[in-house]
Amino acid sequence: MAHLIDSKIFGSSWATPELKALFDDKALVRDWLKIMSVLAETQAEYQLIPNHAATGIKQGIDNLVLDEAFFGEVEQGFRDTNHSLLGLIQAVNKACPDDSGEWLCYGATVQDITDTRMVLILKHFHNCLSHHLANIDDVLIRHCLEHRDTLMCGRTHGQHGLPITFGYKVAGWLDEFHRHSQRLAEILPRLSYGQLAGGVGSLSSLGVHAIEIQRSFCTRLGLSVPSVSWTSSRDRIVEWVNLLALIASTCDRIANEVYNLQRPEIDELREGFVEGNVGSITMPQKRNPELSEHIGTLARIVRNSATQMNEIMVQDHERDGKAWKTEWIVFPEACLAAEKAINLSFQLLSHLSVNVDRMRSNIFSYNDFIFAEAVMLAMAPTLGKQSAHIQVYDLIVKAKKDNIKFKQALLADNTVSKLLGHKKIETIFEVDKLTSYCGVMVDQVLNKVKYEKNV
């Protein structure tokens, strides 16, 4: 095991097995062979190579057995030549009848094959992530509807701020995920370009019909045709990984919220519990937020991958191996970690337990100081906002010192009692009145998301 992702014990925690298989040797070689066969077929169509060569190449590739012996031969070819593709070309050449194998990858460079394959994989991941985000949207919509008016404490700097609703919090998550869905839709046309341009991207090796060959090659593979070679212009791939980092970071933000609100002293949210799950071998009472923690771990990997990919933007001349080959490590890891984080986020949100009673009781757990802004604003028309702030601040200091509730301190203060009156003070402490616009914003997000999903 060279990487934890390859562990038979732990590997499924770091990548979805079906998607991880897209990056194994068998899938890699299978796709490269398909691309090489399409290339030969396209070149024969425009008489760049003989028809019998394309037929022989296809026959040789179709008859290959991708077994241990074959991969051993390809590996040895790589060791002998220190070239990324030549070992495979040599092995395929032997399987091709007559001299057809001599025409393998005619006029094409390694990056034509590898970049084209990477884009095909990228499109697969794009489809997968779009599906995941649509599912997450549906779960978040359900939470918004169910908890539109579920009262809870809004916190800033980790401290009690003002009352909000849980639906309002979730609406913020939904709005953010919906923007990611839009970003995914917008990025696909920029990503879906094939690569066939030869040694330095000038098409000089592809004959008098180079443009037509390039167009036909890309079209056969379901890819767009680039206006110019992108061998050293990696912004498309870098943008993709940066988008993965954005999405994974939203997953991390939500997971971190669950992680914190699951603390026993807060106890407002909990990960879904499955009997048999164990949090600690020494502390049997533990129910650790394992999903939330692991989403955070995966998101860190994706963000680190984005940092490395941004370095790849700087390349020497028309091809730079030290930058380009970095993608071979970073791109798969970023895709797999991001997909796993998104997948786990769906699980987390689908089985999320919401403690409605605890959310409400926590609002009042800090001696009612959460109503301080409402009191200040009620006094401001008479005293002025700044003076009202000072008055309320001093009352809170006194209430904390005397260990009494904020309302009690207000009623005991002659100035405040005279200014506001007992009835007004009681009205200020009606928490539902402070969150009415939370529900309005939930409705706005739901209406927007539902409308745009149906457009």
What is the radius of gyration, based on Cα positions, of the chain?
Answer: 30
Residue 270: both structure tokens together: 């909990």
| The pLDDT of residue 111 | 95
Q: Give how far Cα 392 sits from Cα of 154, 303, 370, 414, Å.
A: 20, 43, 12, 13
Answer for the pair 146, 349: CB distance below 8 angstroms, yes or no: no
Q: Catalytic amino acids?
A: 157, 280
Q: In whole angstroms, what is the distance from residue 413 CA to residue 449 CA? A: 48
Rounded to 10 deg, the angle between the 326-350 and 110-146 helix axes is 20
Q: For 202, list phi and psi in degrees, rounded to 5.
A: -90, -5
**What is the SS3 string spanning the chain?**
CCCHHHCCCCHHHCCCHHHHHHHCHHHHHHHHHHHHHHHHHHHHHCCCCCHHHHHHHHHHHHCCCCCHHHHHHHHHHHHHHCCCCHHHHHHHHHHCCCCHHHHCCCCCCHHHHHHHHHHHHHHHHHHHHHHHHHHHHHHHHHHHHHCCCCEEEEEECCEEEEEEEHHHHHHHHHHHHHHHHHHHHHHHHHHCECCCCCCCCCCHHHCCCHHHHHHHHHHHCCCECCCCCCCCCCHHHHHHHHHHHHHHHHHHHHHHHHHHHCCCCCCCEECCCCCCCCCCCCCCCCCCCHHHHHHHHHHHHHHHHHHHHHHHCCCCCCCCHHHHCHHHHHHHHHHHHHHHHHHHHHHHHHCCEECHHHHHHHHCCCCCHHHHHHHHHHHHHHHCHHHHHHHHHHHHHHHHHHCCCHHHHHHHCHHHHHHHCHHHHHHHCCHHHHCHHHHHHHHHHHHHHHHHHHC
Residue in this structure with the two tokens 């003989």, named with its chain if needed: 50
CATH classification for the domain delimited by 13-103, as one of 3.20.20.70, 1.10.275.10, 1.10.101.10, 2.40.110.20? 1.10.275.10
* pLDDT per residue rounded down to tens, the chain (455 residues): 568 888 888 888 888 989 999 999 999 999 999 999 999 999 999 999 999 999 999 999 999 999 999 999 999 999 999 988 999 999 999 999 999 999 999 999 999 999 999 999 999 999 999 999 999 999 999 999 999 999 999 999 999 999 999 999 999 999 999 999 999 999 999 999 999 999 999 999 999 999 999 999 999 999 999 999 999 999 999 999 999 999 999 999 999 999 999 999 999 999 987 666 766 657 666 678 899 999 999 999 999 999 999 999 999 998 988 888 899 999 999 999 999 999 999 999 999 999 999 999 999 998 899 999 999 999 999 999 999 999 999 999 999 999 999 999 999 998 888 899 889 999 999 998 899 999 999 999 999 998 887 75
The yes or no reply on domain 110-205+228-362 and CATH 1.20.200.10 is yes
Does the model's pTM come out above 0.85?
A: yes
Answer for the pair 122, 334: CB distance below 8 angstroms, yes or no: no
Closest CA to 421 of 369, 376, 383, 379: 379
| The pLDDT of residue 278 | 62
Q: In whole angstroms, what is the distance from residue 276 CA to residue 282 CA? A: 15
Answer for the pair 198, 205: CB distance below 8 angstroms, yes or no: yes
Q: Give how far Cα 325 sits from Cα of 4, 20, 107, 271, 322, Å.
A: 21, 19, 21, 40, 6
Contacts of 380 (CB under 8 A, 6+ apart): 388
Residue in this structure with the two tokens 């791109």, named with its chain if needed: 331
